[in-house]
Structure 1
Amino acid sequence: MTYQPAFPAALQPAALTLLEAMAASELAPPHQGFQVSVQGELLSAPARLYCSPGDLRALIEQATGDRRTLALCLGTRHWNGYVREECLRRFIATDCSWTAPFVVQLLGEYVIEIVELIAATAPQATLQNLAAFARENPKFMALTRQRATSYWDCYFRRHFRSLQTYPAITTLNAIDAWAQAA
C-alpha cells in the first residue's frame, strides 16, 4: 500500500515538505508503515524511505528545531541501518512526545546495534514520553514486543540466552513499568 503521511497538526506542514524533498532522490516510493496515536493525533510513518543518504543528511543539516528533529525521526525509516542509527543518535535524548513512536518502532527491528543504543541511552525524560506513548498505543506496543521476541528467537538467542536479557525486551519492560507506574 502506498504511504499516506499523517502527522500531528503542528508537524504536518513540515513533514509534507520534508517528504516531498526526500522524494526527489527516491529510488522507490515508500510503503505504508506504522500508524499510531500521539496525544490523540494520528501519526503515520513510512515503512522505509529509499532516498539518497547524502540528500537526507543535507536536509537534516539545513533544518532547525522541530523540523530537524522530524527529519531525524524520518531518517530512522531509511533503508540503510547505519543511517537509521546515525539519525537516532542525534535525537534520542529529545524531549518531544512525537519522537516516541520512532524509537519504539526500532525496538521491534533487527539491527542489534540500534536496539542496544536505545537500551543504553533512553534517559528518564525520554522514558516518560515512551511510557505515555505506550499507554496510548497498547496494540502497537504488543506488536513491537512480538517482533522483538521473534528477532531474538531467530538471530540473537545464542548471544542473549534468555529473552528477558535481550535489550529490546528489557527496554520494553522498562517502558511498561513506567507506563503502569504513572
Structure 2
Amino acid sequence: MTYQPTFPASLQTAASALLRQLPAPDPTRPLQGFRVTVQGETLSAPNRIYLAAGSLYSILEESEGEIRTLALCFGTRHCDGYVREECLRQLLAAGSNRDWVVPFIVQLLGEYVIEIIELIADAIPNMNPAHLASFSAANPEFMALTRRRVTSYWDCYHRDRYGRLELYPGSVALNAIEHLVLTQTEPSIVSDAP
C-alpha cells in the first residue's frame, strides 16, 4: 500500500511544509510503514524514503523547529542505514521532548542495523519516560510486532554476539520501555494515617 501521510493536528503545519519540500515520490514508493496512535491521534510513516542523502541534508540545513525534527524523523526511514543512523544521532542529541518522535525511534529497534539499536538502548534512560510509557500503552500491537522483529533479528544475525535474547540491545530497550509503562501507570499508595 502506498504511504498515506497522517499526522496529529499539532503537527499538521510542519508536516505540510515538510511534504512540500520533499520531491515527488516514485509512484511505486514509498510503501506504508507504520500507523500508530500518539496522544489519541493517528501518525503514519513511510516504510522507507528513497531520496538522495544530499537532498535530505539540504532540507535539514534549511529547516528549523518542528519541520527539522520531522525531517529527522523521516530520515530515520531513509533507505540508507548510514543516513538513518545520522538522523537518529541528531534526534537523540537534540533531546527532543516531542511525543510524536517516539514511534520513529521505537520502530528502529525492530530493524537489523545493530549500531542503531545500540544507540537507542543507550539513549532510553535519557528519553522522556512519560512519552515512552504513553506511546507504548497506546500501541500494544505495534510494540508486540516490534518485539517479534527484535527476536527475529537477534536470532538471525546477532545470536552469536549476544548469547541470550535478554542481553540483545533491542530487548534491553524494549524491556526498559515496558518497565516504564508499569511504573508510570502503577497507582500510588495513599495513606490516611496522620
- What TM-score do you get using the length of structure 2 for normalisation? 0.89
2:180: which partner in 1? Answer: 178
Structure 2 segments unaligned to the other structure (5+ residues): 185-194
> What is aligned with 1:120?
122
Partner-residue secondary structure (3-state), 2:55: helix
Indicate if the aligned counterparts of 1:109 and 1:151 stay in contact, CA closer than 8 A. Answer: yes
Matched, 1:12 2:12: yes
The match for 1:40 is 40
For 1:154, which of 147, 153, 156 is the aligned residue?
Answer: 156
For the residues of structure 2 that align with 1:156 and 1:19, how far apart are their CA atoms?
36
Paired residue secondary structure (1:18): helix
Conserved? CA contact 2:72–2:87, under 8 Å: yes
Q: Separation in 2 of the partners of 1:56 and 1:27?
A: 19
Distance in 2 (CA, whole Å) between partners of 1:84 and 1:27 is: 22
Query: 2:22: which partner in 1?
Result: 22
Which runs of 5 or more residues in structure 1 are unaligned?
Answer: none
Deviation per CA, 1:118-170, whole angstroms, max 9, x where unpaired?
A: 01122444333112110110110000000000000000000000000000001
Cα gap change, 1:143 to 1:137, in 2 (>3 Å): same
Match of 2:22, SS state, is helix
Partner Cα separation in structure 1 for residue 126 and residue 159 of structure 2? 28
Give the equivalent residue in structure 1 for 2:168: 166
* Distance in 1 between residues matched to 2:23 and 2:128, nearest whole Å: 30
CA RMSD of aligned residues (A): 1.5
1:119 corresponds to which letter in structure 2?
A
Q: CA deviation at 1:26?
A: 5.9
Q: Return 142-151 or 23-32, whichever deviates more.
A: 23-32
Alignment of 1:85-124 (within 5 A): 85-92=85-92, 93-124=95-126
Preserved CA contact (<8 Å) 1:5 1:16: no
Contact 1:72–1:87 at 8 Å: present in 2 too? yes
AA at the equivalent of 2:44: S
Instruction: Report what 2:58 is aligned to.
Output: 58
Query: Do the aligned partners of 1:49 and 1:78 also contact (CA within 8 Å) in 2?
Result: yes
Letter in structure 1 aligned against 2:147: R
**TM-score where L is the length of structure 1:** 0.95
Give distance in 1, aligned partners of 2:29 and 2:16: 14
CA contact (8 A) 2:166 2:172 kept: yes
Moved over 4 A (4+): 24-28
Who is 1:133 aligned against?
135
Q: Check the 8 A contact 1:26/1:51 in 2, yes or no.
A: no
